[in-house]
A and B are shown apart, each in its own frame.
Chain A
Amino acid sequence: MTLQVSPDASVRAADPDDAGRLIFYYRSSRMYSALLDQRREPVMATRDELAEMLAGKDRLGGQLFALMDCSGSVIGFGGLRGASLENLTGEVFLLLRDDSDYAASSARGMLAFLLDRAFGRMHLNKVLAVGLVEEEEGWRTLLRETGFHSCGVQRQIVYARGRWFDLETFTLKQETWLNAVQHGPLPAAG
């Protein structure tokens, strides 16, 4: 089942057949904050591991989605992870090939779809997101334009490619999102 999220893009739940597409991001020379683990280490996954993860019952809690263009080709992935019962928060992430892709309407639509799930279906109070400073300007701009508020930057928290990376953390409160959806300019998913 697919859901239209923008005039030129739709989403569906990711499945094991997506492992071959997902691994592209793990093997990319670009750094993606979405692929950092809990300790903020880049994960080096194999295709088999990804297929197993995508076939698993929880499939990241059922929260990993593939973004497709008009022709049905997968152009990215996005999801929610790390939902906490204590403070009803979760972390949203979006994996697109190039940093400039985050300015496209498909990226906005995908993010709106994920936030709609987080706040509307999962009833989270707050959604977090992280972005690598310098590496993910497009993603961080999209977050700011969507209403996310920066909580600050953690210095030199990731070591990769022979250097340190800083990581910016953002939050979006449920009330901010609902207010934006009702009054614009944010796009409502679906």
Chain B
Amino acid sequence: MNNHSTSDLLHAFLDGELEQSHEQPLFNELASSGELRNEMRELLAMRSAVQQDIEAFTPPLAATSNIFSTLGFTLPAATAGAVAAGEALTASSAATTVAAASWWSKFWLPSATALIGAGVTFWLLNWGYNSNLNAMAATQSAEIQKIRSEAAAQLADQANSFRNQLQNVEPKVVIQTQKVYVPKVEYRYIDKPSVADNSMKQNVNKSVLNTPIEESASIFAAHDRQPLYAQFSSGGNSIFPKQTSTYIASPISQDNALVESHDALTGEILEREFLPQDEPYYQRWSAKVGGVVSNWSSAPSTSLTAPTGTFKDINGQLMFFLSKDFSVGRKLGQEAFPLHYEGTISDRKIIRDQYSIVWWYGLSAQYQVSSLSFWGGVQPYITGFGGFSELGTHVRGEVGVQYPLSSLLSISAGYEVSGLFYEFQNVGFNTVKTGFNSGIIIHF
């Protein structure tokens, strides 16, 4: 067997064209000929290099666009996105028409989602969850108003009667009132018998007293058989009569309960206003502008490779509160994703150029855990997002904390994960990014 014929056999074998009957002679020759083995290695190296010629296997996006526009077809969605962002299309009218059509093909779904979201929000505002809350709030407000009115009328009669009495005695006395914020104090006191009554035993009791907030240290209980009083001072002047008893009581807890208006001269309660336990519900919105500095952290689900690096994005969020803690809304932003993928799948060379920046949009829901508020008002929150981008489905998740600077303004910081899922030439791609986010929130 001469060298030329064995090379022929080798070439045919590597091309999958060698008849089975010729394989064994080739293998025998390969076993004995170092030169033939070298030739095989060189041919394989050549083939391997050709398979890396990704550029040759990648039609330009502009060419794809031109073909589809010439035939009057809509550009496939994934290709359209890449064309719009990556390659400058020639400014032909046909290309412009295709770009417009592809633009609509990308955005009709997010637009429809936006309309549906707006409709749902409008319904919630007018007939849904919100209307029930508003009804509850209205009932509660009316109840409070009724208590206030009745108490005010009753106290006004008493005050007028008292003024009349005082003015009858001394016409020049000027009635002053002082509004005192009165917390409800639960306290423990020692029920000690008086000196004159040695037969009584000493007991430790617990009771509740409404006492002014200025009274912070000692609360004195009266004699066991007398009404309980709290001794306090305001502006250096004793308001309530000083008690003869010196038994010390220790506060256990306190809860803001009511506001009393006292006559500064007599200490009489002129007005008592109960504070509601729960705040009534009012419509509340928040708008947030934030950004993420993130790290591109995973490759696509395929065997393709992608560049790594640090990316940034910016986004805005408008939320409507369905309750004190739970809010829903819409979120819009743009984000950087890898510029291209390269690799081979099932002997197909794939190169995927795409946006460096994609826009995304969708619905967002957030729960802020007010009950876990700590460090002077810092509240944890968790946010979920589902929507669409110019390339495909987009989801985001976020956990963090927010801190109110005022009733109108808060700041937030957290950790965020985002995922983008799309298809190109029947190959599914996904990217997942993680990063730290921060934002400024306006409440209104």
- A is bound by B: no
